[in-house]
Amino acid sequence: MTVLWMVLVVVGFMMLVSAATSVRVVQQFERGVVFRFGRLQPQTRGPGLATLIPIADRMQKVSMQVVTLPIPAQDGITSDNVTVRVDAVVYYRVVDPVRVAVDVQDYGSAILQVAQASLRSIIGKSELDDLLSNRERLNQGLELMIDNPAVGWGVHIDRVEIKDVVLPESMKRSMSRQAEAERERRSRVITAEGELQASKQLAEAAQVMAANPAALQLRLLQTVVEVAAEKNSTLVLPFPVELLRFLERSTPSGGASTTQDRGGAPPGDHQGGDAGEIAAGEPVGRGDDQEGRPLHPPVDQEPQHRDGGERDRPAQPGLPADGGEHDEGDQHEGGDHRVSLPWSV
């Protein structure tokens, strides 16, 4: 009896162990692929309890969750010969657990290698500006490059994103200068547009004020009030605008009178006065005095010699024939008197 009980206990224990090994729990996010004596069973086991034949069946669980796979930073040269370092991340999930279990040994490692190669390829085909500003298109292209081989393994690539693009320090400084110049250009354009709009508004305001003089006067008073509100020692004296308009109206007539005054009397019109009348036949020029007598000898007269001698010269009207001198008080017939001056060299 003792031996029989021992046999029964051993058999019961083996049955319990077999039952424990033949029942598996499959989670909601998992699928079970069963191999019986190494042969793939067509049906996969879903969530819940899965019963297996002891020793004959073996089940492999496959997760159906989305997996995040970071891609290490890859060094590459862009198509415009700029050295960059780019890293990315891949989001994928299993859509066919049978292929994942049968066709590929380690699908995670396989996807990582494909992602690294695809990232280096996309770097070489792209320009630096595309890597910096057009990442969405590059992400789509990278996703297609990784998804093509992954579909044969029963894996679907949900999304691929380029995380960071590391540039050399020299390129960073160059791009910083370029961005600064672009901002300066935009600032100048905005300032110029503002000045243009302001000038148009000022021109319209000037036309309105010119049409209404009272508005200009009010603007002047407003300016005086604004300046007076500032706490400074500046004394502002408003200039009367009416005086400016008066000067503008009087400018043409004043200019004409000034021209006439500067031009003098018309030719041929001599004004009479107390300076005396000019005798007929006696020219008046720059060498005549106020009474019309010449201050320099005529060209045809010969000067008097220094030794006191005098050559014969024709008598001039009003002068003695002998050429002698007379005092201013000498009286002549007719009541008039003349002064004779000797012409000396």
- The pLDDT of 156-164, averaged and rounded, is 91
Quote the strand ranges of the chain, DSSP E. Answer: 23-26, 30-36, 39-40, 48-51, 57-63, 67-77, 83-94, 155-166
Do 162 and 177 lie in one domain? The reply is no
Do 21 and 56 lie in one domain? The reply is yes
Query: Where is pLDDT greater, at 295 or 281?
Result: 295
Do 160 and 87 lie in one domain? The reply is yes
Side chain identity at residue 216, one-letter code: L
Do 74 and 56 lie in one domain? The reply is no
- 239 falls within a domain: no
Q: What is the pLDDT of residues 8-35, one digit of tens each?
A: 777 777 777 777 777 888 888 989 999 9
Q: What is the pLDDT of residues 72-111, one digit of tens each?
A: 999 989 888 888 999 999 999 999 999 999 888 889 999 9
Place of tokens 């019986």: 36
CATH label of the domain that carries residue 88:
3.30.479.30
- 227 falls within a domain: no
Q: What angle do CA 14, 15, 21 make, to 5 degrees?
A: 90
Do 91 and 159 lie in one domain? The reply is yes
Q: Binning pLDDT at 50, 70 and 90, where does residue 219 land?
A: confident
Do 162 and 182 lie in one domain? The reply is no
Query: Where is pLDDT greater, at 272 or 61?
Result: 61
Do 113 and 131 lie in one domain? The reply is yes
Do 52 and 94 lie in one domain? The reply is no
- 97 falls within a domain: yes
Q: What is the pLDDT of residues 236-248, one digit of tens each?
A: 666 666 666 666 7
- 229 falls within a domain: no
- 44 falls within a domain: yes
pLDDT at 93: 94
Q: Which two tokens stand for residue 255?
A: 């200019």
Do 135 and 91 lie in one domain? The reply is yes
* Gap between the Cα atoms of 80 and 166, Å rounded: 16
Whole-number percent of the chain with pLDDT over 90: 24
- 281 falls within a domain: no
pLDDT at 54: 80
pLDDT at 4: 76
Q: Nearest-CA neighbor of 168 among 86, 238, 84, 95?
A: 84
**Region for 316 from its dihedrals, namely left if φ exceeds 0, alpha if ψ lies in -120 to 50, beta otherwise:** beta
Average pLDDT over all residues of the chain: 74
pTM: 0.51
Do 97 and 150 lie in one domain? The reply is yes
Number of domains in the chain: 3
Do 82 and 96 lie in one domain? The reply is yes
- The pLDDT of 202-215, averaged and rounded, is 80
Burial class (CB in 10 A: 0-12, 13-18, 19+), 123: buried
pLDDT at 242: 63
Query: Domain range spanning residue 116?
Result: 67-167
- 340 falls within a domain: no
Q: Binning pLDDT at 50, 70 and 90, where does residue 169 land?
A: confident
Do 26 and 43 lie in one domain? The reply is yes
- 237 falls within a domain: no
